[in-house]
Amino acid sequence: MLWSIKNYKDKLDYLETEKYIKFVKDHFEDNLASELGLIRVSAPLFVKKNSGLNDDLNGIERPVAFDAKNVEDTLEVVHSLAKWKRMALAHYDFKGLGIYTDMNAIRRDEMVDNIHSFYVDQWDWEKAIAKKDRKIATFKDYVQKIAKALKKTEVELHEACPKLEQFIKEEVTFISSQELEDRYPDLDAKKREELFTKEHKTVCIMEIGDTLKSGKPHDLRAPDYDDWHLNGDILIYDPIVDKAIEISSMGIRVDEEALRSQLKKAHAQDRLALPFHKALLEGKLPYTIGGGIGQSRICLILLNKAHIGEVQASVWPKGMYDECREFGIHLL
């Protein structure tokens, strides 16, 4: 379903759009790496099904799976690289540096609209931390650094293309999912996010995955990568679409205790036999913080676009093409 957009006028033609997509990606990537102390690494597009490395996101999305010559295991296109990155940090020796990579995925069950696509492109990053730093203050510090990198990129883009409007607020307003529910008890989670983000512009909703006082979680989270008490989503208010847009889901990753507890709550304790989970419980993986940052969503916001299909080439349901033309939206 397409969000209706009133009086939308694209500020960039096709060639300008392609030029500034590259500008945004290059500059934000550099700014992010500088702020967080990251180096770029190569990453897989697919992993073995039985490795336990693929993420099940909300637990209902079907991965794209296939077989390959001379490979006995079924292969799955990744949903994200949260677990793979932690394994990679155990393998690489970067002496205090973290890693980031380009992550491309196919989410076949996505309900597509202005910001959701079957094709996902994001920067996935991960950094080792000490066990004593597994606390909310550490999480907030990294969130603020990401916002700083985003604002710096917006300023650099405006210098190169002054006709693009700036509206990123660098200062992040933090709120827990329970505090948000207490504030808007009669609204569902998405409506709460919309109201709070529209008021504060750049926000981080923390502690996502566990059950709230209402008996429901704010949103679903896989039980075996983020610690549900040390994670969150970064959202930006976008006046072009008049919506709160999530640009990142991130968190301090589970330790041994959190893994056991969350798998029990999710009735997924059978995963403890998988290679990734066994390595974690045996102390073979570092304690880490990490997340994903949407490349096309950041381009959408900074280039003042109304639809993610204006900054990435994908396939859309029948009827969306006509709807987009009606609102002056030109899909790639």
CATH assignment at residue 100: 3.30.930.10
State the residue range of the domain holding 187.
14-326
Catalytic residue among 233, 238, 255, 310: 233
Catalytic residue among 76, 80, 117, 122: 122
Catalytic residue among 76, 86, 107, 181: 107
Mean pLDDT over the full length of the chain: 91
Residue 323 binned pLDDT confidence (cut-offs 50, 70, 90): confident
- Cβ-based neighbours of 167, under 8 Å, separated by 6 or more: 201, 237, 238, 239
What's the CA gap between 13 and 299, in Å, rounded?
A: 15
Residue 34: how many CB atoms within 10 A of its CB?
Answer: 13
Query: Is 220 a member of any domain?
Result: yes
* Beta carbons of 20 and 298 less than 8 angstroms apart: no
Lowest-pLDDT choice from 50-54, 188-192, 194-198, 271-275: 50-54
**How many separate helices (H) and strands (E) can be counted in the chain?**
9, 11
Q: What is the pLDDT of residue 59?
A: 59
Query: Is 4 a member of any domain?
Result: no
Nearest residue to 32 via CA among 117, 119, 111, 148: 148
Q: Report the relative pairing of strands 98-106 and 38-40 from DSSP bridges.
A: parallel
Dihedral (C-alpha) 90, 91, 95, 100: value to the nearest 10 degrees? -90
Query: Is 62 a member of any domain?
Result: yes
CA distance readout (Å), 72 to 51, 52, 64, 77, 224: 13, 16, 17, 16, 26
Query: Is 240 a member of any domain?
Result: yes
Kindly tell me if the per-residue pLDDT of 58 is higher than 80: no
Residue 261: how many CB atoms within 10 A of its CB?
Answer: 17
Q: Is 107 a catalytic residue?
A: yes
What's the CA gap between 7 and 103, in Å, rounded?
A: 34
Catalytic residue among 80, 117, 177, 249: 249
Catalytic residue among 29, 55, 193, 227: 55
Nearest residue to 290 via CA among 134, 115, 76: 134
Could you tell me which residue, 111 or 218, shows the higher pLDDT? 218
Query: Is 229 a member of any domain?
Result: yes
Query: Is 9 a member of any domain?
Result: no
Residue 320 binned pLDDT confidence (cut-offs 50, 70, 90): confident
Catalytic residue among 113, 210, 246, 323: 246
DSSP-assigned beta bridge partners for residue 310: none
Judging by beta carbons within 10 Å of its beta carbon (0-12, 13-18, 19+), is residue 187 exposed, middle or buried? middle
Please give the tally of structural domains in the chain. 1
DSSP assignment string, 137-191 = HHHHHHHHHHHHHHHHHHHHHHHH-TTSPP----SPEEEEHHHHHHHSTTS-HHH
Query: Is 227 a member of any domain?
Result: yes
Q: Is 179 a catalytic residue?
A: no
The pTM (predicted TM-score) of the whole model is 0.90
CA distance readout (Å), 93 to 83, 88, 97, 99, 291: 17, 9, 9, 11, 20
What's the CA gap between 179 and 201, in Å, rounded?
A: 18
Q: What is the pLDDT of residue 19?
A: 96
Query: Is 331 a member of any domain?
Result: no
The b/e string for 64-90 (b: 16+ C-beta within 10 A; e otherwise) is eeeeeeeeeeebbbbbbbbbbbbbbbe
Q: Is 80 a catalytic residue?
A: no
Mean pLDDT on 98-118: 87
Q: Is 249 a catalytic residue?
A: yes
Q: Report the relative pairing of strands 226-238 and 38-40 from DSSP bridges.
A: unpaired
